[in-house]
Chains A and B, each alone.
Chain A
Amino acid sequence: MGSTPEMTELVLQARSFEQRHAATATFPAAPLPTVAAFAKRTGFSPEKQGTQVILREQVACELGHPTTQSVCTVLTTTDPGLVRSGALCLVGPDLAEIPMGTKVPFGQVITLLIREGGSADPFDLETTQYLIDRLPGYMVRSLPGRLWARVSKEARHAGFSLVTLAQALMLVYASRFSSVLASEVLLVTASDDIVSELAPLAMAADVLRGTHKKVTLGAADIECAEQSCETCVEKPVCDSARELLKQGSNRT
């Protein structure tokens, strides 16, 4: 991941989106706290800390539920002129304006200023955007390019807002990646249609990262009568599953 003319174009597209929706956009001005101060206030941790599951009865709000639109992506650039450090643009209501128990569509675009020549695992850089198990009261489940989040009633009563979320996103990137020099966040909760407008941008970012590429090893009906792994043509599938099992909780 780095900066290319194509990625620069995507960053500008995100900016155009904001301008298109300027009438309903807000730019909450909240100075970015230190990690320690933020962690003390919210329980945030830059690294995964256990697994949280928020069941329906405890949900204050759902962002990007499977029945709504959900788009998320990470853009990167080495051009400091393209990133408004610490900026948050919110298109649509914040949590306090959303009735309890509502499912709202959700768009999230994070733009990162990367140090020229910096190296970071592209997979880690991309998956960190989901903020899985790093913020108590904010549970996330994700598919590539899509996230589904639940905010607990307890967190919302304690003041959790989309500003909190944006700050957590900025702090997690700053903490985990020394090559990330600055970041800005765009969050969209306005409507399915407006969130959908971000889909082409997210898809284009995927193509630039190469994550759209798939190699199919082939699939054939198999018989497992002898239950012998060594002769089974699907052994690569199971070997891959074993690899993932060994990695255990080292997923981001």
Chain B
Amino acid sequence: MKPKIIAVCGKGGVGKTVVSALLGKVLIDEGVTPVLLVDADPVAGLVTALEASPRLTLGHLRDEAISTLRQGEEEKRSLPTRLDYRLLEALEDRGAYSLLAMGRSASKGCFCPVHALLRRAVKTLAAPFRAVVIDAEAGVEQIQREVTSHVSHVVVVVDSSKRALDALELIEQMVGPGPSLHVVQNRGRPGRDHVSPEPCACFPEDSALGDLDAAGTTLWSLDPERPVWKEARRLARALDLVRGDH
């Protein structure tokens, strides 16, 4: 069975990482495992939020691939298998879930075909997972560059700002007919915000998350009684990943 691939997108600062982290934990707790969590933000949001510090990232692999492609024919031909090896090495496999980080690349330039090679390798690696949650980079560039292609669900996180709603509109246009699109409102103001399409979950403002963030403590240590967890489960149900009334 192919994994469900969920890309969590939105304007910078709306809370993509929080939503990604909480959704990931809910999936693990509900037994939708193994889960692959991908931190696609070069500035590292999700991995930091989970107190991880990956040694090897996709950025490193990108640089290695570019370097290899500048070399002789023998080196080039071995690149796909080399990428598979290094990608497995980059994967932080923790049993019920695994982590993969985008990281930063030192190589300037777009190198789109190199990204395509990497995407293909990641797609292969993702095959045995039941769900893949991608904490995407802020903005729409990753959607534009099809870094988030092959996703089955796009979750757009918005807050109360007009800029976030503008980003939602843009993402709706760019995503196209393939993946299903879901809206999550973060730090919502009940009765005051009007978001369309209607959000499938509304995460309330929660200062405890900010405290954990400030302390560099994993978001997964948040008190299980906090209301955001209920919304994370609602989101998981909306994505048809868990069932039942929680």
Interface residues of A (CB under 8 A from B): 51, 53-57, 66, 123, 127, 130, 132, 141-144, 146, 148, 210-211, 213-219, 221-224, 227, 232, 234, 236-245, 251
Do the beta carbons of A211 and B112 come within 8 Å of each other? Answer: no
Give me 9 other A-B pairs in contact (C-beta within 8 A), A57-B96, A210-B74, A216-B71 excluded: A213-B72, A215-B72, A219-B70, A227-B110, A241-B69, A244-B76, A245-B120, A251-B80, A251-B81
11 contacts between A and B (CB under 8 A): A51-B127, A57-B96, A143-B86, A144-B78, A214-B72, A217-B70, A236-B69, A245-B117, A245-B120, A251-B77, A251-B81
Query: Across the interface, which residues of A come within 8 angstroms of B85, CB to CB?
Result: 141-143, 146, 148
Do the beta carbons of B88 and A141 come within 8 Å of each other? Answer: yes
- Cβ proximity bits B80-103 to A, threshold 8 Å, 1 near / 0 not: 111011101100011110100000
Distance in angstroms from A150 CB to nearest chain B CB is: 9
With CB as the reference atom, state the residue of chain A lying closest to B75.
A214
Query: Across the interface, which residues of A come within 8 angstroms of B124, CB to CB?
Result: 51, 53
Query: Across the interface, which residues of A come within 8 angstroms of B95, CB to CB?
Result: 56-57
Q: Interface size of B by Cβ–Cβ distance < 8 Å? A: 41
Do the beta carbons of B108 and A214 come within 8 Å of each other? Answer: no
Distance in angstroms between the alpha carbons of A54 and B125 in the assembled complex: 9
User: Which residue of the partner chain, among A55, A127, A132, A210, contacts B34 with CB atoms under 8 Å?
Assistant: A55
Query: Across the interface, which residues of A come within 8 angstroms of B78, CB to CB?
Result: 127, 143-144
Given A56-B95, A127-B81, A141-B85, CB of A215 within 8 Å of CB of B113: no
Do the beta carbons of B109 and A224 come within 8 Å of each other? Answer: yes
Distance in angstroms from B12 CB to nearest chain A CB is: 22
Do the beta carbons of A237 and B66 come within 8 Å of each other? Answer: yes
What's the A-B contact tally at a CB cutoff of 8 Å? Answer: 108
Do the beta carbons of A237 and B81 come within 8 Å of each other? Answer: no
Do the beta carbons of A241 and B114 come within 8 Å of each other? Answer: yes
Name the prevailing secondary structure of the B interface residues: helix
Do the beta carbons of A237 and B84 come within 8 Å of each other? Answer: no
Query: Across the interface, which residues of A come within 8 angstroms of B117, CB to CB?
Result: 241, 244-245
Distance in angstroms between the alpha carbons of A218 and B110 in the assembled complex: 18
With CB as the reference atom, state the residue of chain A lying closest to B114.
A241
Query: Across the interface, which residues of B come within 8 angstroms of A218, CB to CB?
Result: 70
**Is B227 interfacial (CB 8 A cutoff)?**
no
With CB as the reference atom, state the residue of chain B lying closest to A124.
B77
With CB as the reference atom, state the residue of chain B lying closest to A251.
B80
Residue of B77, B86, B116 ringed by the most chain A CB atoms within 10 A: B77
Query: Across the interface, which residues of B come within 8 angstroms of A240, CB to CB?
Result: 69, 76
Do the beta carbons of A224 and B79 come within 8 Å of each other? Answer: no
Distance in angstroms between the alpha carbons of A227 and B111 in the assembled complex: 10
Query: Across the interface, which residues of B come within 8 angstroms of A251, CB to CB?
Result: 77, 80-81
Query: Across the interface, which residues of A come within 8 angstroms of B81, CB to CB?
Result: 127, 130, 132, 141-143, 251
**Is B128 interfacial (CB 8 A cutoff)?**
yes
Query: Across the interface, which residues of B come within 8 angstroms of A66, CB to CB?
Result: 89
Query: Across the interface, which residues of A come within 8 angstroms of B79, CB to CB?
Result: 244
Given A57-B95, A221-B108, CB of A238 within 8 Å of CB of B75: no
Do the beta carbons of A55 and B69 come within 8 Å of each other? Answer: no
Distance in angstroms between the alpha carbons of A51 and B84 in the assembled complex: 11
Do the beta carbons of A237 and B70 come within 8 Å of each other? Answer: yes
Distance in angstroms between the alpha carbons of A143 and B86 in the assembled complex: 9
Given A214-B71, A217-B70, A245-B116, CB of A123 within 8 Å of CB of B109: no
Distance in angstroms between the alpha carbons of A216 and B163 in the assembled complex: 46
Do the beta carbons of A56 and B93 come within 8 Å of each other? Answer: yes
User: Which residue of the partner chain, among B86, B113, B128, contacts A53 with CB atoms under 8 Å?
Assistant: B128
Do the beta carbons of B127 and A53 come within 8 Å of each other? Answer: yes
With CB as the reference atom, state the residue of chain B lying closest to A243.
B76
Nearest 5 A/B pairs, CB to CB = A241-B113, A141-B85, A56-B93, A215-B72, A237-B69
Do the beta carbons of B111 and A55 come within 8 Å of each other? Answer: no
- Cβ proximity bits B113-132 to A, threshold 8 Å, 1 near / 0 not: 11011001000110110000
With CB as the reference atom, state the residue of chain B lying closest to A234.
B109
Distance in angstroms between the alpha carbons of A251 and B77 in the assembled complex: 8
Do the beta carbons of B114 and A238 come within 8 Å of each other? Answer: yes
Do the beta carbons of A234 and B111 come within 8 Å of each other? Answer: yes
Do the beta carbons of B34 and A57 come within 8 Å of each other? Answer: yes
Do the beta carbons of A244 and B80 come within 8 Å of each other? Answer: yes
Query: Across the interface, which residues of B come within 8 angstroms of A234, CB to CB?
Result: 66, 109, 111
Distance in angstroms between the alpha carbons of A165 and B70 in the assembled complex: 35
Do the beta carbons of B116 and A123 come within 8 Å of each other? Answer: no
Distance in angstroms between the alpha carbons of A168 and B120 in the assembled complex: 27
Interface residues of B in 58-73 (CB under 8 A from A): 65-67, 69-72
Query: Across the interface, which residues of A come within 8 angstroms of B127, CB to CB?
Result: 51, 53
